[in-house]
Structure 1
Amino acid sequence: MPVDRAAAETFIWSAARLVDRHRYTMLFADGPAEPVVAALSGYRNPDGGFGHALEPDLRCPQSQPAATLSALETLREAGGLDSDMASGARAWIARIAAPDGGIPSALTGFEPYPHSPWWSADPGSMLTFALAGVLHAGAVTDDEWLARATEWCWRGIEDTGRKPTGYWLKFACTFLDAVPDEDRARAALTSLRLRLDPAAFAPAGGTEGERLRPLDISPRPGSRSRRLFSETDIEAHLDEVENEQENDGGWMFDWLAWSPEQTSAWRGIVTIRALTWLRDNGRSI
């Protein structure tokens, strides 16, 4: 059943953050990219990284890898990965990286601030996959950290003793969809598919009913990671997305909702995500 686009738009204007309202206008109403980038600047710190709850589950002011990932994803969406803002974020990433290129899940200092319970300052986290992936997707080439991180990612993905699960799988696919070595990426995806089991889609420590679904892992038609799923899998998920629009016009997420501000921010994000999935995969919006 087609979604109610007018209700979704009303929800965005009612509940989404400023940066996401500008994203909606850019993505669905031919709006300019400049307001998106300007809104992002409010989350930027003097060190070049991003914080200030741009990642809704980590609400500290200090620069954090997850918030900086969100900024780079948004800059790529806006065609701004060649901007000074993106260059500053890349330099910050290089400064916090381990010698092997790995990026921690969080930097210490967030603990006194509101945050979801799963954050910890673990080294060499799966965010490395996602950060490397967004830079490769933006055709960034002359970046010393990216070269180190790419080798870090290959080592992790090609470790055949590892069972791919949850967000590790999602972020690994972000990398594999974008890294230039297509043959190696396709071989890695074939190996991952052989190692998948149904438990792979339930994040460890997640809430009851929380799971990653096909479009969480492979949102774009024609991407390399689509080989992990059948067309039936994709169409079934699209049907679910269409049916999950709520009465207020927005969509809801299935992980822990722990504050009104966090919930409102995420609902704006996932509403734009739902509309993007549907449009990009041929459904009417």
Structure 2
Amino acid sequence: MSSAFDAAAIRARSEVAISVALKVGREAARFRRDSNPGTLAIENKGLQDFVTIVDRRAEQAIRDGLISRFPDDTFMGEESGGGSGEGGTWVVDPIDGTTNYIRGFRHWGVSIAFVAGSTVEIGVVYDATEDKVFHAICGGGAFKDGLPVHVAATADPAHALVILGHSRKTSFDDHLALLRRLHERGMDYRRMGAAAIDLVRVAEGAADLYYERHLNAWDMLAGALIAKEAGAMVAMPPVYKLLAQGGPVIAHSPGLAGEFAFILDIEGL
């Protein structure tokens, strides 16, 4: 299904999303910096799965900022739910990396994607580490604070840095087996706990791979588009499946395609 939105409509939405992400991200960062962690009103949604009052306030602020400008769009957020519509849908994680945010580990961000039909048209990610915004429009390249970003040219696995995510919905033994295989090929690896930020690290060439076996759509769609537009090879299920049930994502620099082909086979992508 092709998008019903012309280039001007997409560009207008991108500009608003960038502004909203920057404002909400900075407000969340200021609140965390100036507040005692005990004031965050942490709730536990599951094992190592938390939500704070900031998540909910941030999501409402994002919703208000987007829907006030584009009232016919629909909204799907991690905290408030919602579904995709026949027109365009905003898919939002207000604080990606909530555990990091709670603990003061500044690897977290704000993730905003816009989906029309079967296409992720816009990806915007506020990176709290650097107080900068990454964004991409489908077919238009990837940018960090307005400057183009590109994936790394790494071709030697012994020079590769990979970032792996792990969900408790998937096998830890499989995760360990993957670590061993990458380690044996000479690669170094990290687990950072914020998929949107991990994906933009691939986009800007700081890492050569990001892979996780299960993510929700709001965790991955914006970052995956940015990585793809920066030149990464990206594989994930169709958008409609991700919106309904989540799934795997892999994004990597092209020079290491042969090293990571086995992951595509594992996932059937």
Per residue, is there more helix in 1 or in 2? 1
Q: Which has the higher contact order (CA 8 A, sep 6+)?
A: 1
Per residue, is there more strand in 1 or in 2? 2
TM-score computed with the length of structure 2 as normaliser: 0.30
